[in-house]
Structure 1
C-alpha cells in the first residue's frame, strides 16, 4: 500500500553504568531529545516509523559486544551508534563489523580507532564508520597554546604505558612527530601504569631537561598526583595541556576531593571539539549549539559537556544515512549510504568522502583552558586557528 509506514530501528550502545558513565549522560540526553524529532523518517516518498533502542555497555568490552548482539538479533537494528573509551568502542565496532550491522562511532582519535581494531590506523572497514579528530590535530592545537609562551619550547610528556601512550609516541601516526615538526623539544621519561602510584623519576628528568610545559593524556586523579609531587619537588609546569578525560571538568571525572583541590588552580588547557559557542545547527530541527547546551542544563541540572555535541551528531548522521539509503531497512544499503555521507551537523560538516580513510570523517579542533568561573571550572576558548568561525572567549593564562 502506497505511503504505508514501515519500521526502522536505531540501536544505541551507551555506557550507562561503570567508569565511562559520564559519556553515557549526554548520549542518553541526545537520544531523549532527538527521539521526539525522529518519530517518522521519509525516504524516497515513503514514510518509516523510527524506534530507538538503547543497551548499556556497562563500560566493558564484553558488555559492548553483548549490547550489539542484543540490538542486532533481538531489536533488528538497522544502524548502531556508540561513543565510549579506547577499549569499549572498538569492541562495539568490531561486533558490528562481524554481524554486518552499520555502525557510527565517535569520541577518540581516528588513529586509535583503526589501531585498536587490528593494529593499522589506515585499515578500512565495510560496516563501521567513525568521526573525530587525529592525534596530529591534538598536537597542532596544543602547540598553538605552547607557542603563546615562546616560539620553541621544551615540553615534558606524561603518557601511560598502554595503547594510548604507545599511539602518542608512534613515529608515523602519533602526537610526537606532529609536535616535533613544530620545532619543540619533547622530553618523554617513559610510560607509567594507571592508576599511578608516583612520578618521582618523571619529575627528576623534567627538572634535568628544564621542561616548563607538560603535555599529557592522564586521568584527573593521576594528573593531580603529579601536581602534588611537583609542588613539593619541582618543577611545577607553567602550562599543562591534557587531552582525554580533561576535556571534561575535573570535578566530573573523579570523586576524589583531593584531586579537585590539586587541579583547581592548575589552569589545565585542553582540546575543544564542541562548545555552545560553535556556530553550527542541528540538521534535525535547526537547534543551535548554545540552545542544545541550555536544554541539557535545564533538563539535567548539570553543566554542558563536550560529548553532548558528538552525541547529538550521532543521531543526525543516523537520520541522514537512513533517509539517503536506497532501502533504509537493508543494512548493506545503509552502510553504502554512510560511505557517501557528507552532512551538516551540530558539530560541523561531517564528510566521509574526504578521508583520511574511507571510514573516517574529521572534526577540526580549537584550544581551551579550564579557568575559574562563578559555578566551578569554566572552559575558556583561547585558540581557534583551525576553526576561526568559533569565537574566542578569553586569553590563555599560565599557571604561574
Structure 2
C-alpha cells in the first residue's frame, strides 16, 4: 500500500520529488495528528497481562490531552488499540492493519512473544518504528531470527533476559534446603523453547551450578492433563519445579499435583505466578509459591511521564479500579513513556528512520527502570531490573514479598525465601 510517507520518501530517493508535489496528497500541516499503534492481548488466555491497559491508556491520554509539544509545535496524539486475542497470527494481522490502514507513526506491543514477536516482525518488514517489552529478550530477539552482528533497523525491545531469571530462580532455590533436583514445565511455544534451549536457556547453567534437570519434554498450551509430568517428577524425586506456564495451565498442573500427592519444596513458574488474581484463585495452595519480579510497588523508580513513584502508580491503579496492582502495570506505563520520549526527540516526524534513530538514542529513567539501548547484550535490546519474589497470604489475600535481588542492590528485600509447607 502506497502511503504518503512512503511516496515522499521514495520520490526523494529517486529524484522525483518534483513529481510528487503535483500529486493530490494531503499537505504535511504543522501539528498533524501523531498516531501510536498498540497491540495487546485484551482477550484470550493472555488477557490477564492486559488488565491494566485501560488505566494506563487513560493516564497517557490525560497526559497528552493538550497534545505533544515538539520543537514549539503542538501535535495531537491518537492511540489506536488492537486486540491480538492472545494469538500470534492475529497479532501479526492487526499490526498490518495499524501500519497499512491507519498509517501509524510508531507501533508498540507487550505481553509475551506471542504478541511482541509478530508485531515487531511486521514493523521491521514495513519499515515502521516499533517498541516492545514484557518478553524475555532471547525469545524476542533470537525468536525473530536476530543476528547479534547486525540487529534490526526499526524494532527495539526492553526487558530482562533468561540469564537474569536464571540468576533469580537459582538464588531462590539456594535459599531453601533441597536435593537440587529440578522438574521443568516448559511448553511448546516461543517462551518454552527459549527457556529450554540447550545453549542459551536454563539447562547448561543449571548443570554448571550442580542442579539435576528432569525435563519431560514440551507440552501444548491448553493441556488438561499433566499426570505424565507429575509422575516423572515423583519418580525422579523432584523437589523444585520451574517453568513458564500460562495461568490456566498452572492451575490445572498445581491442582493435579495435590491430587496425586506431589509436594515440591520450591515452585517457580513464570507467567502464571506473576498475578495476584491467579494466586487468589488457588487459595491456601498459593502460599510460598515463588516468582520472578519484574515490577513491584517497592521498586525505587519513577515515571518520566507523570512523576509517579512505583508505589504511587500502584496505589492510583488500585484506587481507580478496586483491583490489586500487577507487574504489567509498570511495563505498560513505561512502554508509553519510551514511545512518547522518542517522538519528542525525533528530528523529522515524517521520517521513520528519524524516529527509529531517536529510539536508538534513548537514555530514559522510567517507572520500570532505566532504558538505554547503547549498552544492551545485543543490538536493539535494553535490559531492565529483575528480582525474586514469594507469595504469602495476608487476611486471605496474596501479598508479594521481594526475597532475592541478585545484581540489583538498589531493590530492597522485604522477606527471606522459605520452603512450601
With normalisation by structure 1, the TM-score equals 0.90
Corresponding residue number in structure 1 for 2:341:
320
What do residues 120-160 of structure 1 show as CA deviations (whole Å, max 9, x unaligned)? 68772111111111112111100000001149722221222
TM-superposed deviation, 1:338: 1.0
Give the structure 2 partner of residue 345 of structure 1: 366
Instruction: Tell me how large the CA RMSD over aligned residues is.
Output: 2.5
Residue from 382, 385, 403 that aligns with 1:364? 385
Matches within 5 A, 1:389-400: 389-400=410-421
**Structure 2 equivalent of residue 139 of structure 1:** 166
Which secondary structure state, in structure 1, belongs to the residue aligned with residue 132 of structure 2? strand
Distance in 2 of aligned mates of 1:172 and 1:296: 40
Q: Using the alignment, how far apart are the partners of 1:60 and 1:98 within structure 2?
A: 19
Give me the whole-angstrom Cα distance separating, in 1, the residues matched to 2:35 and 2:87.
24
Matched, 1:288 2:309: yes
- The 3 A distance-change label for structure 1 pair 216 and 250 is farther
Q: Match of 2:38? A: 12
Change (3 A) 1:352 1:290: same
CA displacement at 1:252 relative to structure 2: 7.4
Q: Verify the 8 A CA contact 1:140 1:178 in the aligned structure 2.
A: no
1:326-351 Cα deviation digits (max 9, x unpaired): 11232221011111212111111011
Select the residue among 119, 122, 128 that pairs with 1:95. 122
CA distance in 2, matches of 1:114, 1:10: 22
Alignment match of 2:399 (pick from 358, 370, 378): 378
Q: Deviation string for 1:141-180 (max 9, x for gaps)?
A: 0000000114972222122234333222212211222333
Query: 1:112 touches 1:121 (CA, 8 Å); kept in 2?
Result: no
Q: How does 1:50-65 map to 2 (within 5 A)?
A: 50-65=77-92
CA offset at residue 354 of structure 1? 0.9
- Contact residue 34 and residue 77 of structure 2 kept, 8 A: yes
Matched, 1:297 2:318: yes
Question: What CA distance in whole angstroms lies between the structure 2 residues aligned with 1:375 and 1:151?
Answer: 28
Work out whether residues 107 and 310 of structure 1, in 8 Å CA contact, stay in contact via their aligned partners in 2.
yes
Question: 8 Å contact 2:152–2:380 — kept in the other structure?
Answer: yes
Structure 1 residues 123 and 214: alpha-carbon distance in aligned structure 2, compared to 1, 3 A threshold: farther
Give me the whole-angstrom Cα distance separating, in 1, the residues matched to 2:411 and 2:163: 20
Structure 1 position 31 matched with structure 2 position 57: yes
Find the aligned partners of 1:395 and 1:9 in 2 and give their Cα distance.
46
Asked if residue 240 in structure 1 is aligned to residue 267 in structure 2, the reply is yes
Task: Give the secondary-structure state (helix, strand or coil) at the position aligned to 2:311.
Answer: helix
Judge which range, 86-95 or 297-306, deviates more.
86-95
CA contact (8 A) 2:178 2:239 kept: no
Paired position in structure 1 for 2:409 = 388
Contact 1:102–1:334 at 8 Å: present in 2 too? yes
How far apart are the structure 1 equivalents of 2:264 and 2:414?
23
CA 1:342–1:180 in 2, change beyond 3 Å: closer, same or farther?
farther
Contact 1:271 1:365 in 2 (8 A): yes
Q: How far is the alpha carbon of 1:228 from its aligned partner?
A: 3.6
Bigger Rg over Cα: 2
How far apart are the structure 2 equivalents of 1:389 and 1:335? 31
User: Alignment partner of 2:56: what SS?
Assistant: helix
Question: Structure 2, unaligned stretches of length 5 or more?
Answer: 1-28
Residues 51, 228 of structure 1: CA spacing in aligned structure 2 closer, same or farther, 3 A cutoff? closer
Corresponding residue for 1:263?
285
Secondary structure, in 3 states, of the residue corresponding to 1:87? helix
Aligned match of 1:168: 195
- Answering whether residue 139 of structure 2 is matched by residue 117 of structure 1, we say no
Secondary structure at the aligned position of 2:382 is classed as: strand
Conserved? CA contact 1:250–1:263, under 8 Å? no
Which residues of 2 match residues 165-204 of structure 1 at below 5 A? 165-204=192-231
Which aligned segments of 4 or more residues in structure 1 are displaced greater than 4 angstroms? Answer: 119-123
1-side partners of 2:94 and 2:191: how far apart?
Answer: 25
1: distance between equivalents of 2:208 and 2:366? 32
Aligned residues between the structures: 392
